[in-house]
Structure 1
Amino acid sequence: MIDRRAAAGRLLRAATSGGPPVTYALIALCCVVFAISPLSGLNPVYGSADALLSAQAGYFERWGVIPSELWDGSAHALLTPLTALFVHGSWLHLLGNILFLYVFGAMAEERMGHTEFAFFYLGCGYLALLAYAAAHATSDETLVGASGAISAVLGAFLYLFPRARVTSVFPFLLFLPLRFPAWIVLIFWFVLQWLAAKGAGSGPGVAYLAHVVGFAIGFLYAWGRYRRDARVRSPATATEGESQP
């Protein structure tokens, strides 16, 4: 489970200070899109009760990835792995993703540069959702969320900052906040996603395969792009978090 109080504090401080603009813009865009959508329940234009449920279903179908429709060649269907990155099914889904994006995205953006990070995030997120759709090509379930892109950020972070310290809480350690090197936390997270993906079906739930693919693409990109450069190895770098995006 993520140390949400510490991460939320960092997110609040980020809103009142300078920092990586792409990471903050992505966070803001996800929040705004969710707030004005029928999924938040805040926009009265969508009505309530049955009307709201119908609007929510239509919203998922319009902006989310439907694997069985992705390969029909239409421009709209091919665009959905991009639009789905900004659609979240609930407040909890949104909060978990934006916390991870800030915690790990800020340092990755500073290392990559703003423009490269933006294309990295969108490209890896697109490919992660595309891979999930290819593996479940006959599924009619809608896939939404930024998890694939954020998993790619985690993979890149593992390569770029292997010794950065992260504050994490683990259920089997009685939820005590402990600090570990990033490589321990992120490899542990990746193994959990891999095991979950092997046992997951194509129905509603968490798209673990998109996490695995996104993480792998992000790590391989960072390895290929920066393997001739010196990686950041200082254990003094601080960040927080460990859980599923």
Structure 2
Amino acid sequence: FFYEISLSPLEREIFFRHWGFVPARFFDEYFSVLIGEPAYRKYLSLITHLFIHGGWLHIIGNMWTLWIFGDNVEDRLGPFRFLLFYLLCGIFATLTHAIIYKDSVIPVVGASGAISAVMGAYFMMYPLARILVVFPIFFFPIFFEIPAFLYLGYWFLIQFYSGLFSLALPTSFGGVAWFAHIGGFLVGALIYRIFCKKRRFYLDEYCIFGSLFDIDKK
């Protein structure tokens, strides 16, 4: 990231196009030939784009969210499985966006899709965990706690409807890969169990989802 911000605007644009994920480059076999770049880059960019961000707000927002939800998910999966889960879900999330915008030449950058998958896994693992949120009333912040399934469920609905509106009003809802967020959250919620370490749940992890699917009752 620090290398990115050291570049000039033109150099940064070239960097994003080289190492960001470009849907048209992935689906059009002649794209790389026409612009004179190596064909392997369209596959390598499936990974590299996850580590590129568009600015300070982009990376701070992503890393803050990963810090909140990622440590608990990593604890359940283990470091190596978490990394594998993170990368695979990030790829799937970006491909969800790319399938819908397969002719787009706009580079996709950022870890939002992979982090959305972590949020989806957290939704299934710890739905009753308490999330501290802040609601500003004028200049006075009000802090309160709500269950994770309400917070994450509300977040997912925002992404879902924003994605739908972006199809109808692309100029108003452009600039964000909404469908990468949607695809990442869903795949994370669906496949997290494949990566989980086999162990008993702790008492504070017991919940409706856990009691139905995860708890070892022996």
* Conserved? CA contact 2:81–2:195, under 8 Å: no
Match of 1:25? none
Gaps of 5+ in 2: 30-38, 206-218
The structure having more radius of gyration, on CA atoms, is 2
Question: Alpha-carbon deviation of 1:224?
Answer: 5.5
Q: Could you tell me which residue of structure 1 aligns to residue 147 of structure 2?
A: 181
Q: Which one is further off, 55-64 or 65-74?
A: 65-74
* Match for residue 54 of structure 1 among 10, 14, 26: 10
Match of 2:181 among 200, 208, 211: 211
User: What corresponds to 1:22 in structure 2?
Assistant: none
Match of 2:2 in 1: 35
Q: Match for residue 159 of structure 2?
A: 193
Q: Which runs of 5+ in 1 are unaligned?
A: 1-33, 47-51, 236-245
Distance 1:109 1:168 in 2: 22
Cα drift, residue 94 of structure 1: 0.5
Give the letter for the 2:190 counterpart. Answer: L
TM normalised by structure 2 equals 0.80
Q: How many residues align?
A: 191
Structure of higher RCO (CA pairs closer than 8 Å, 6+ residues apart): 1
2:63 paired residue number: 98
Instruction: State the Cα RMSD in Å.
Output: 2.4
Aligned to 2:204: 234
**Counterpart residue identity of residue 88, structure 2:** G
The DSSP-based 3-state class of the residue aligned with 1:200 is: helix
CA distance in 2, matches of 1:112, 1:136: 32
SS at match of 2:41: helix
My pick for the range that moved more, 81-90 or 171-180, is 171-180
- Alpha-carbon distance, 1:230 to partner: 5.8
**1:231/1:136 CA distance change after superposition, 3 Å:** farther
- State the Cα distance separating 1:229 from its structure 2 match: 6.9
* Aligned match of 1:154: 119
Among 138, 147, 166, the residue aligned to 2:103: 138
**Alpha-carbon distance between aligned partners in 1 of 2:43 and 2:26, rounded to the nearest angstrom:** 6
TM normalised by structure 1 equals 0.71
> For residues 172 and 216 of structure 1, what CA distance do their matches in structure 2 show?
33
The offset of 1:233, in angstroms, is: 6.5
Partner-residue secondary structure (3-state), 1:234: helix
SS of structure 2 residue aligned to 1:69:
helix
Moved more, 115-124 or 160-169: 160-169
Q: What is the Cα deviation at residue 79 of structure 1?
A: 1.8
Question: How far 1:72 sits from its partner (Å)?
Answer: 3.6
- Is 1:108 the counterpart of 2:73 in the alignment? yes
* Amino acid paired to 1:82: I
